Structure 1
Amino acid sequence: MDKRIKLIWDFRGPQSRETARHFELHLRESPLFKPDIPTGVEHLSEMHSLAFMVVAASEMPEFRDALKPHRGSLAE
């Protein structure tokens, strides 16, 4: 089975929660998005939230180049 990569966009500041939620909507509007691709939002603190998308490692370069995530990690 292909490894899964979690592409991550970090947002910091007092509006990070709302910004991450809004950005997730934009991820779902991407021409690359498919209904089976998991997306979500995590709130790490009052001042740090993130939006994410989990893709197959084989598709990661296409998504990375188009969507410019801040970082990535292996998905669990």
Structure 2
Amino acid sequence: MTKKIKLLWDFRGPDAKETAKHHTIHLKEFATLENLVFYKIDIQEKNEMLFSAFITVDERDMKTYRDALKPHRGEIA
């Protein structure tokens, strides 16, 4: 069984939620254009001024996503 990796992009400020939501559109577009597998794309709230957009991918695809999209951080899902 392969590990799942969650790649995250953090957005801060009063528009953080909307910016994170918009970023998920680009994550979906990239995955579709590159024919890459992903498990989940969504946002998560840390507080009202900090939201993260994320994509969960297989460990084998992580480098492709990482190198092209430059996430702020990653974690094992």
TM-score under structure 2 length normalisation: 0.89
Structure with the higher helix share, 1 or 2: 2
State percent identity of aligned pairs: 45
* Matched residue, 2:73: 71
Indicate if the aligned counterparts of 1:20 and 1:51 stay in contact, CA closer than 8 A.
yes
Q: Distance in 2 between matches of 1:41 and 1:50?
A: 5
TM-score under structure 1 length normalisation: 0.90
* Matched residue, 2:12: 12
For structure 2, the residue ranges without an aligned partner over 5 or more in a row are none
RMSD between superposed Cα atoms in Å: 1.5
For structure 1, the residue ranges without an aligned partner over 5 or more in a row are none
Q: Where do 4+ consecutive residues of structure 1 move more than 4 Å?
A: 33-36
* Matched residue, 1:3: 3
Aligned length: 75
Q: Distance in 2 between matches of 1:61 and 1:27?
A: 15
